[in-house]
Structures are given as C-alpha cells and as structure tokens.
Amino acid sequence: MARAIQSKAVSDFTRFRERASRVFLSELQEGGLFPAGMKKVAMFIPCFVDQLTPEVGLDMARVLHRIGFQTEFPSAQTCCGQPAFNSGYWPDARPLAEHFVRVFHGAEAVVCPSGSCATMVRNFYPELLAGTPLFDEAVNLGRRVFEFSEFLVNVAKVSDVGASFPHRVAYHDACHALRELHLKREPRELLRHVRGIEFVEMPYSEDCCGFGGTFATKFSMISSAMGDTKAGNAEASGAEYLTSTDPSCLLHIDGILRRRKSAVRTIHLAGILAQTADSAGRASGESR
C-alpha cells in the first residue's frame, strides 16, 4: 500500500513538473518573464567547473560581458545538492538546496554552464523542498535559472556572440539539457553563427555518454562501454572537437578519448563562444 501511494505521488509530481515546464517555455518564448532592461546576471558555477574546469566559468563570463551583461558571482554558493539527490540521499541534499535558494533569491536571472545543475534547481528543487517554507521561493527561483545556451538564445535573444572558431565541431546532446530542459536547437543555433566553424552532426548525438554522476562509479563497466560508443561516434563524424553544454559529460568522454589515443578533443560550448578572430593559441575551454 505504501509503495502504491508513493508511486502515485511520484507520478502526480512528474505530470505537474512536465506541465509546469511547458507553461514556462511558452512564457519564455513570449518574452514576458523578464524586464526589458535586465542587464545583470548571477553566475551559478557547478562543482565540476569550480574544481576541475574553471576556464568554463571564465569563458561564460567573457561571452556575457561581450554581449552587454554584467555578471556577479555570489561567493557563498556551494554544491546544488544534485549528487546526493540523485543517489537517494535527500535529507543530505535538502540543506544544500535551501542554502542555494537563500544565496540566489535576489537575482534577476541565474546563468549556469551545465544543463544538469540548472535542471536540478528548476525541475527538482520543488520536489525536494515540497512542504518546506522555501517551496514557493524555490519554484520562483527555478523560473529564473538558465543553462548558458538557453539564456543566450531564449532570454538575451542573441545567436551571434561574435565568436570565431575555424574548426570542424560535433555536438553531444547531454541528457539533462535535452530531456529535462528541452534544449536541442539553442546550442546548435549558437554554433552555426560562429565564424569559420564547420558544424557536423554526430551519429546518435542524443545517446547518453554513460557518465550519469555516481552511475559512472557504481556501474563503471556499463558507463565505460557507453562512453566508448560515444567516443567512436565522435570519431566517425570526422570532427576535430566535440562540444556540449555539460562539463561532466565532456570530462567523461575526454578520458575515454585519451585512452583511445584519439585525435578528437573536447571543449565546452562556452570555450568556443569565447573565442574571437583576435584570439590566439589554444582554445581556453579545451580540456587538453
């Protein structure tokens, strides 16, 4: 009986979340969510970026500054709680979510270079904080949190950020960005406006790379096999670079490409968009 009740509750919330997501996307497309003069954004920097790929956050800031936005980095921010939440440790994730809501509550817009972390705040905080005093604030904040490419194309209404990257590039559709945030057009639109780029579609670009957070450690053999398939598809595309919206996916794929001694390199989308005709040397967002 308890299991049946729990299953119904999860099903009801899933339908609510999907309906709320459709309403949100509709309002966003109509342009009514933010004041026209909004020019300051808060940067939400995920753990992977903070600890392993800080250049991704810097590149995101460079692009935002180039198109006229001021950025602030709330230094009190910590992990959003996604690893604990996804592993079933909700009591451990909840204080992190509450802290995040308090830190970012005054931000007009929050921009994040990770689809999975943006998903955590927008789609799963309402579930995690249901029945708490911060539930309403969490829902409202979630409507102001955006993945980087989503913010550029759908909020700032900018597809050409003045980037130049004369290389052959393929794109990996990260699971959370594609399936939770419904982002497929946005990163591709940005890439197609990069000067000098040759954008190619990779076979099975929507297939999971096998990372999945703690899945990669709990089920390492499956994770590695999925990553190996993704790496092979990247190579089959003939791309010099593989890009995505999620640094965690790129780190996973990069490790497998290195093991294969592949010529394909990985770079975050922000690393491509940060490059201009005046840039020299190695791409700042390149993982190797």
Confidence of residue 118 (pLDDT cuts 50, 70, 90): very high
What pLDDT digit, counting tens, does each position of 177-191 carry? 999 999 999 999 999
Are 57 and 117 in contact, with CB atoms under 8 Å apart? Answer: no
* Residue 79, Ramachandran bin (φ over 0: left; ψ between -120 and 50: alpha; else beta): beta
Taking alpha carbons only, the member of 286, 284, 278, 266 closest to residue 195 is 278
Q: In this predicted structure, what is the pLDDT of residue 9?
A: 39
Asked if the model's pLDDT at residue 3 lies above 60, the reply is no
Q: In angstroms, rounded to a whole number, what is the distance separating the alpha carbons of residues 157 and 58?
A: 21
User: In this structure, what token pair is assigned to residue 22?
Assistant: 């459709």
pTM of the model: 0.84
Q: How far is CA 221 from CA 226, 250, 263, in A?
A: 9, 18, 24
Q: Give burial (CB, 10 Å; 0-12/13-18/19+) of 125.
A: buried
Asked if the model's pLDDT at residue 13 lies above 70, the reply is no
What DSSP assignment string belongs to 47-103? HHHHHT-HHHHHHHHHHHHHTT-EEE--TT----SHHHHHTT-HHHHHHHHHHHHHH
What DSSP assignment string belongs to 145-190? EEEHHHIIIIIS--S----B--SEEEE---HIIIIIS--SHHHHHH
What pLDDT digit, counting tens, does each position of 200-256 carry? 999 998 889 777 777 767 777 887 888 888 899 999 999 999 999 999 999 999 999
Q: In this predicted structure, what is the pLDDT of residue 35?
A: 47
Q: In this predicted structure, what is the pLDDT of residue 33?
A: 45
Q: In this predicted structure, what is the pLDDT of residue 219?
A: 74
User: In this structure, what token pair is assigned to residue 270?
Assistant: 């922000």
Q: Name residue 145's beta-bridge partners.
A: 110
Indicate the length of the chain as a whole number. Answer: 288
User: Strand, helix or coil at 40?
Assistant: strand
What pLDDT digit, counting tens, does each position of 130-142 carry? 999 999 999 999 9
Over the Cα atoms of the chain, what is R_g? Answer: 19
Helix orientation angle between 90-104 and 135-142, rounded to the nearest 10 degrees: 70
Q: In angstroms, rounded to a whole number, what is the distance separating the alpha carbons of residues 213 and 40?
A: 31
Mean pLDDT over each residue of the chain, to the nearest integer: 86
37-41, 71-75, 220-224, 281-285: least confident range: 281-285
